[in-house]
């Protein structure tokens, strides 16, 4: 049996790089997606120095040509893809009343359209895998149920628009891909890393990247009887344990 091959987008830092590290530690060949050659090379070097079979793939999720070239390269080099982690993401903008459409478009271009673009480009390769897994890195802030629950700790977070709504869209996108692919071995799930200390939130998160990557790695390595079409990961509650995991409401 040949090695499992995983592509992680936005793998040059933060949760994506740590996801690549943890998948690499399991003996999985990791294709580390990065839009910037130099940042990607540095990440590739660091991952390889730790023993991971990591290979840089230049990939800007907003550029159709870049995505097509990445898919062609994976096809030539590996002939298939077993795991796709749609991790690349950005956060911008303020509350609804102060949100301009440019900020909305910028965020949706990466967090929403980028995921569809990459997934559809990689699907022919994923269909060649005996048990492919797609993980869309979403967020609890995309859960309309959690965000409108006054008892949730999320109620105390600042009210944004572009980022949370992009993750709500991603949640539905996850559910619809899972529905379309339900009669295939491909499982499609959304991961909630929890509030993780990275550049995305100016390092204000309370979880480490090691913890933040756990949900993606779990969903990327689900057994054949695992779920498809769920949002799963860290459960943040006012009184509950700090390290609870499970399915979140949409
Ligand atoms: N941190 C949290 O608390 C948290 C919570 C829930 C969900 N998430 C999600 O977790 C994922 C990773 O975020 P993070 O916290 O690790 O943030 P991060 O440290 O800012 O990393 C984001 C990654 O995405 C890449 N990226 C941005 N735009 C891209 C594009 N157009 N094409 C390809 N890659 C692109 C970045 O590359 P560059 O270095 O080139 O910019 C970087 O590698 C995101 O989807 C985020 O929404 C994070």
Quick check: CB of 233 below 6 Å from ligand 1? no
Nearest atom, ligand 1, residue 17 CA: 43
| Active-site amino acid positions | 163
Name the pLDDT band for 200 (thresholds 50, 70, 90): very high
- Structure confidence at residue 208 as a pLDDT band (50, 70, 90): very high
Q: What is the pLDDT of residue 69?
A: 98
Q: Can you give the pTM of this predicted structure?
A: 0.98
Residue that has been written with the tokens 């399991």 in this structure: 26
Tokens of 229: 């079409």
Identify the CA nearest to 135 among candidates 206, 235, 219, 72.
219
Which residue's CA is the closest to the ligand 1 atom numbered 19? 14
Query: Residues 161-181: what's their mean pLDDT?
Result: 98
Tokens of 145: 């149920």
Strand pairing report for 29-34 and 5-8 = parallel
> Ligand 1: does its nearest atom lie under 6 Å from the Cβ of 10?
yes
Residue-averaged pLDDT of the chain: 97
Q: Which atom of ligand 1 is nearest to the CA of 91?
A: 47
């Amino acid at each position: 049996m040949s090695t499992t091959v995983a592509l992680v987008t936005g793998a040059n830092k933060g949760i994506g790089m740590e996801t690549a590290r943890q998948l690499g530690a399991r003996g999985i060949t990791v294709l580390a997606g990065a839009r910037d050659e130099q940042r990607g090379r540095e990440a590739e070097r660091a991952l390889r120095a730790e023993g991971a079979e990591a290979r840089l793939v230049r990939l800007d999720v907003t550029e159709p040509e870049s995505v097509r070239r990445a898919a062609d390269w994976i096809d030539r080099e590996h002939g298939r893809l077993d795991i796709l982690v749609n991790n690349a993401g950005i956060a911008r903008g303020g509350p609804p009343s102060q949100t301009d459409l440019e900020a909305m478009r910028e965020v949706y271009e990466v967090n929403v359209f980028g995921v569809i673009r990459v997934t559809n480009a990689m699907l022919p390769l994923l269909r060649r895998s005996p048990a492919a897994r797609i993980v869309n890195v979403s967020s609890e802030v995309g859960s309309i149920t959690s965000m409108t629950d006054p008892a949730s700790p999320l109620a105390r977070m600042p009210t944004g628009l572009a980022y949370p709504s992009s993750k709500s869209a991603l949640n539905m996108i996850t559910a619809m891909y899972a529905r379309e692919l339900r009669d295939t071995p491909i499982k499609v799930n959304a991961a909630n890393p929890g509030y993780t200390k990275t550049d995305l939130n100016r390092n204000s998160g309370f979880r480490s990247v090691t913890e933040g990557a756990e949900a993606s790695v779990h969903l990327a390595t689900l057994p054949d009887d695992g779920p498809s079409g769920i949002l799963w990961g860290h459960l943040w509650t006012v009184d509950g344990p700090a390290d609870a995991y499970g399915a979140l409401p949409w």
